[in-house]
Structure 1
C-alpha cells in the first residue's frame, strides 16, 4: 500500500513526525510572507470585506535554511497587519523554530519587550492576537496577549488525544476566563495523503469561548471542512475589563511575586542557533530527558529530591530583603524560604528595555 503521508507540502506535521530533512522542507514547502498564498487570502478578504486569521510554515530572511510557524492577520484591504512567530512548538513533532530557539539573535533584531513575542493588532472588529495550538497549553502566552490588550485570540489546532480528553476545551475556556478575552478555536479537517486517503488526527470540537469562559459556539464533529459561529460582544468584554471589581483578574497581578518563579531558566534558550533542529531521538536525549531530570530536582514535598536519603538540590532564597520578625509571643516564625531550582543565580531581565515603549502598548510585530 502506498504511504498516504508522503505529500510533503500537504501534510507538514506528518512530515515532521517522520523526521524528514528540515532544510529541504524550508526550501520546498515553507512559504514567504507576503507571497502567493497570502495574496489569494487577501483577495478573499477584499471580496467579502472580512478579516482573515491563519497560519503557515514560513521563511524568515534572517534565518536561512530554517522556518517558523507563523500566525497572521489579513485585513479587509488584503494587507497583512499582524505576524506572530509561534513561541512553543509541539516537541518533538514540530521542527519549526521558536524565537526562543534563536533568542539572542531574535532580541538583537526585535528587542526583548513583550511586543517582540506577543504582538496584537487593533482592528475595526477588535484587538486581535494569536496563540497557536500548543502555545495555549501555557497560560503565559495567553497572559502576554491579554496584557498587550488582546480581545480576540485565534487558537488552532490541537491533535488527538488532547481533544478526546477534553484538554483542548479546558484550555480554551481557561485562557478565555483568566484573561477576559474571546478565544476562537477552529480545529482542522483531515489530512490528505498522496493517494487521496484522508485521516483525521484532530477530532473536531471546534469552539468559540467568550470572555467569561463560556462556550458560545461549538461543533462536535471533525474530519471535514465545516464552520462554527457565535456573536462576539465586545462592549460587554470592555465593560467588564473597565468596571469589574473582582473578575477583571489581570488588574490584580502581583508581578513582583510571580517574577520569582521565573528567575531561573527552565527550557534551554538558543537551542538551534548553530544547528538544525534535533531529530526525535536526539531531542529525547538532549532535551526531554534532561528536562525531566531538571523537574525532578525541584525540592518539593514528596518529590525525589525531598525524599529521605536523597540528595536535595541546594535552595536559593529569592527574597530581596528579610521578612519582618513576628510579634513577640505570637508563637510563629517567618516562613522558610521557598525551594527553587539548583542553578546559579541569573540576572533578572527587566520587563522592558530602558527607553522602550511600555509593555502594555499595542504595537505591530516588526516585519522581517
Structure 2
C-alpha cells in the first residue's frame, strides 16, 4: 500500500511540576491543568488550515519530573498506568479528531509494583494505545535494566524496543536524552522504524542537537522532536528554557524548527515515507548507511561490554536514586578494568556532576 505524505506537528507546551506542589491533592489539580493545556494546544493544531495526522508532545508534559522525590512518594503523587486516567482524555481526543498522538508520562504499571518508568506511548486514530516504550537508559529514574532478568522474561523481545506498523509507516518513540544513545535508535531501525518520535524536555546543548541529526543520518529515519515551552523540568528555579522543537527528514534536512521557548504549534511539516523507502533502496555508497552496514564485525565487542550492572534492583525496587551510587561505583570499576576510565589517584574524590536525566 502506498503511503501518501502526511503532516506531523510538534506541540511545544509549558508544563508545571507536580513534585513542587504543596500536597498530593494540589499535585492532582496541577496535573489536570497540564492535561488541559495539552488538549487545548492539540485542538489548536487540529483547527489550523494544516491539520496534522500526528502530533508529538514533550516529555514530562503532564506531570513534570520527580526531581528528588523518592520512588514511593512519586508513584503516589503523580504516576499513572498506560492506558489510564492521564491517557484517557488524549485517547478520546485522538478518536474525535482522527489523529495519532505521541508523548510521554511516568508509568507505574500494576504488574511491576513499587516500580515506575519513564514511558513513551502512541495513540492511533481509533483512540487505542498501540505502542509503549519504557526507557532503558536513565540517570535519575528507575529503568527496566534494573531488573532485566525478570523484565525480559515477561516481555516479548519486540516490545523491549518497540516499533509499530501503521498507515503512516513504521513508527518508534525515543524520549529526551536517550536520543544520544546510538544503540536505541539503531535497534529500532533494525526492526523497521522509519520515523522516530522524540518527546523531550531539555536545555540546549550542542551534544544533543548533534545527536538528533546523527540518529537521523545514520539510520535514514525522520525525526519529530517536541520540546517543552518555558523552563525545562530539571530547572527548579525556572532559569533554563526549552524550545527548539524540530522536524528533520531522513537526510538530515530541517523541515521545521522553532528556536525560542514560546508555547505553540508552529513546528509542522510533511513526512514522505515513500521517498524514504525509495532512498533506502538506492546504492549511494556510504551515503546510504543501511545498505553497506557491517554489523557482524561489532558483535564480539558488544558481547564483551559489561559495564553498568544489570539487575541492580532485581530483588527489590529502587526506593531512592541515592541507591544507585554503589551501582555507579561498580560501573566505574568495570570501565577502569576495560581501560576506558583512568583510575583516580589514591585518596582523590570523584568529580561531582550536575543533575541530569
Task: Report the TM-score when normalising by structure 2.
Answer: 0.73
The answer to whether the Cα contact below 8 Å between 2:216 and 2:222 also exists between their aligned partners in 1 is yes
Q: Distance in 2 between matches of 1:123 and 1:203?
A: 30
Indicate how the Cα distance of structure 1 residues 5 and 227 shifts in structure 2: closer, same or farther if over 3 A, else same.
farther
Q: Distance in 2 between matches of 1:298 and 1:78?
A: 48
Q: Distance in 2 between matches of 1:130 and 1:75?
A: 14
CA positional deviation for 1:243: 2.3
Partner in structure 2 of residue 75 of structure 1: 124
Partner in structure 2 of residue 291 of structure 1: 331
Partner in structure 2 of residue 188 of structure 1: 228
The answer to whether the Cα contact below 8 Å between 2:256 and 2:269 also exists between their aligned partners in 1 is yes
Where structure 1 has 5 or more consecutive residues not aligned to the other structure, the ranges are: 306-368
Partner in structure 2 of residue 248 of structure 1: 288
Instruction: Map 1:225-236; keep pairs closer than 5 Å.
Output: 225-236=264-275
Mean Cα deviation higher: 210-219 or 288-297: 288-297
Q: Distance in 1 between matches of 2:320 and 2:308?
A: 17
Greater helix share, 1 or 2? 2
- Where in structure 1 do 4 or more consecutive aligned residues deviate above 4 Å? 8-14
> Does structure 1 residue 116 correspond to structure 2 residue 155?
no
Indicate how the Cα distance of structure 1 residues 184 and 67 shifts in structure 2: closer, same or farther if over 3 A, else same.
same
Which secondary structure state, in structure 2, belongs to the residue aligned with residue 237 of structure 1?
A: helix
Instruction: Map 1:52-131; keep pairs closer than 5 Å.
Output: 52-89=101-138, 91=139, 93=140, 95=141, 97-111=142-156, 113=157, 115-131=158-174
RMSD: 2.6
Where structure 2 has 5 or more consecutive residues not aligned to the other structure, the ranges are: 1-16, 22-26, 32-59, 344-357
Q: Distance in 1 between matches of 2:336 and 2:237?
A: 41
CA positional deviation for 1:25: 1.8
Indicate how the Cα distance of structure 1 residues 202 and 267 shifts in structure 2: closer, same or farther if over 3 A, else same.
farther
Q: Distance in 2 between matches of 1:52 and 1:110?
A: 24
Partner in structure 2 of residue 174 of structure 1: 214
Equivalent pairs counted in the alignment come to: 286
- Greater RCO (CA < 8 Å, at least 6 residues apart): 2
Partner in structure 2 of residue 277 of structure 1: 318
Which secondary structure state, in structure 2, belongs to the residue aligned with residue 230 of structure 1?
A: strand
Mean Cα deviation higher: 166-175 or 137-146: 166-175
Partner in structure 2 of residue 6 of structure 1: 20
1:205-248 Cα shifts (integer Å, max 9, x gaps): 11111101122211001153444112212121010112234233
The answer to whether the Cα contact below 8 Å between 1:42 and 1:79 also exists between their aligned partners in 2 is yes
Q: Distance in 2 between matches of 1:150 and 1:4?
A: 33
Task: Report the TM-score when normalising by structure 1.
Answer: 0.71
